[in-house]
Amino acid sequence: MRDFIFHNSDKVYFGRNQLQHLPEELLQYGNHALLVYGGGSIKRSGLYGRITAMLEEHGIRWCELAGVEPNPRHTTVNRGAALCRERGIDVILAIGGGSVIDCGKGIAAASLADTADVWELVKEGGEVDDALPLVAVLTNAATGSEMDIWAVITNLETREKVCIEGPALLPRAAFENPEDTFSLPAYQTACGSFDILNHVLDNYYLDDGEGMELVREFQESVMRAVVRCAPAAMAEPDNYAARGNLMWASSMALSGVLDAGTMHTGPCHRMEHELSAFYDITHGHGLAILTPRWLEYILNDRTAPEIYRLGQRVFGVPEGYAPTEGAKKAVDAVAAFCFETLGLESRLSALQIDARHFGEMAAHACGAEGKIPGVRPLTPADVEAIYRMCL
Ligand code: NZQ
Ligand code: ZN
């Protein structure tokens, strides 16, 4: 168990009747907001109308940055930062999924930085010391951005998808009403759910687990909730209990609670961010394709007992197998969850991805240190081999 500092000051308003507190949260920071949202789902669901009526009623002025793309572009962030500087914005109100919240965080950072270009912050290492306050209204249970310190920004020109990070990016408040996710299509529900599961699994203790029992129990219970609730939410989009469990699981996953004392090296995430940078695919789908192959690749005598434990505790693999055999059953169970239960295409080739950029992507995923650390460190050759297993 590694040393850790836990500090998460995000105030979460969870449930059906909490949006009434939005004006009081915003007014703590001023009365001029930038509304950031995506391609229109919040207008179709009526959420936009409810929120803007509330802002009007409380004398909160606003301007808008609409049309944030899934995998938000640095150019969109820069447009938002320019608006904030021109209009003297006090607070960012991000209404949407992870892409919208991340875009809002990028705007919050670039608005106060020496440069209005968020990519300059990325080039300087991505550490953010200061940012405008941000309040999030979450509409997709997936990334955990509503309760974490990261923002993932994509530069399509350089084919890079990179994090900026820092406590200044933690939302000041997050509004989480499971009803706001009822309109999510089944595909986004599947992808978002697997993203949550992988946030936990990517930091799961795949070693001997010394001192990690409490954290692992937390992690396993959150992963079990995802395995139980994702199919329920796909079958019944307005199942409040299933949507609510997924939403809270999303927020817990990267809040600092579930990865306390772990290695937090995010191997599947580092490999996936290359896929969505090069091919603009849906993040959770890329993770679902990679994860069973990564588990198969890292399976050895040292990791087998832990992978088998994951299978038993989360996916219902029976007891009684030898570790390696049990671990193989666990990998099969993860694959069945991704490709049968969630119904996601299992191969990169089905997403029109071939091997031509794998070398470049693998080198970039391994970063300056030349490897992804972890219980089984991955070199660029390892990463390329995993990509090939996914073709
Ligand atoms: O743009 P709109 O019209 O809102 O539609 C979105 C979008 O098309 C739609 N959607 C969202 N809520 C909806 C809805 N449609 C109907 N009803 C609703 N209630 O879903 C589509 C996908 O939305 P998006 O925000 O892109 O999805 P997600 O929440 O999965 O965010 C993905 C982004 O977050 C990054 C990913 O890499 C990706 O760029 N991540 C951010 C993390 C973080 N900040 O900590 C960590 C994650 O690992 C991840 O990397
Ligand atoms: Zn993720």
Rounded CA-CA distance 356/131 in Å is 39
- 171 CB near ligand 1 (under 6 Å): no
Rounded CA-CA distance 169/61 in Å is 23
Rounded CA-CA distance 137/79 in Å is 21
- Between the CA of 269 and the centroid of ligand 2 the distance, in Å, is 6
- Between the CA of 216 and the centroid of ligand 1 the distance, in Å, is 27
Three-state secondary structure call for residue 50:
helix
Rounded CA-CA distance 170/210 in Å is 31
CB proximity list for 3: less than 8 A, separation 6 or greater: 261
| Among 86, 279, 264, CA closest to 165 | 264
| Among 28, 156, 149, CA closest to 90 | 28
Q: What is the pLDDT of residues 355-386, one digit of tens each?
A: 999 999 999 999 999 999 998 999 999 999 99
Tell me the pLDDT band of 187, cut-offs 50, 70 and 90.
Answer: very high
CA-to-CA dists, residue 223 to 197, 209, 212, angstroms: 5, 17, 16
Q: Which of 169, 283, 342, 344 to mutate to test the pocket of ligand 1 (most atoms within 8 A of CB)?
A: 283
Task: Give the global pTM.
Answer: 0.98
Give the pLDDT score at 205: 81
- 192 CB near ligand 1 (under 6 Å): yes
Percent of the chain with pLDDT over 90: 93
- 262 CB near ligand 1 (under 6 Å): no
* Mean pLDDT of all residues in 237-257: 97
- 269 CB near ligand 1 (under 6 Å): yes
Question: Is residue 259 within 8 Å of 346, Cβ to Cβ?
Answer: no
* Mean pLDDT of all residues in 153-172: 96
- 145 CB near ligand 1 (under 6 Å): yes
- 247 CB near ligand 1 (under 6 Å): no
Q: Which residues on adjacent β-strands are paired with residue 90?
A: none
Q: What is the pLDDT of residues 86-102, one digit of tens each?
A: 999 999 999 999 999 99
Give the pLDDT score at 2: 84
* Mean pLDDT of all residues in 64-71: 98
Give the pLDDT score at 64: 98
Per-residue pLDDT for 115 more than 90?
A: no
Listed residues: CB within 5 A of ion ligand 2? 195
Three-state secondary structure call for residue 62:
strand
- Between the CA of 200 and the centroid of ligand 2 the distance, in Å, is 10
Tell me the pLDDT band of 241, cut-offs 50, 70 and 90.
Answer: very high
Rounded CA-CA distance 16/181 in Å is 12
Q: What's at 359, amino acid-wise?
A: G
- 272 CB near ligand 1 (under 6 Å): no
- Between the CA of 191 and the centroid of ligand 1 the distance, in Å, is 9
- Between the CA of 388 and the centroid of ligand 1 the distance, in Å, is 27
Per-residue pLDDT for 264 more than 90?
A: no
- Rounded to a whole number of angstroms, the distance between the first and last alpha carbons of the chain is 36
Average pLDDT, rounded, for the chain: 96
Please spell the DSSP secondary structure of 243-279, one letter per residue.
Answer: HHHHHHHHHHHTSSSTTTTS----HHHHHHHHHHHHH
Give the pLDDT score at 206: 83
Token pair in block for residue 36: 């950031």
Give the pLDDT score at 210: 80
Q: Whose CA is nearest to atom 40 of ligand 1?
A: 143
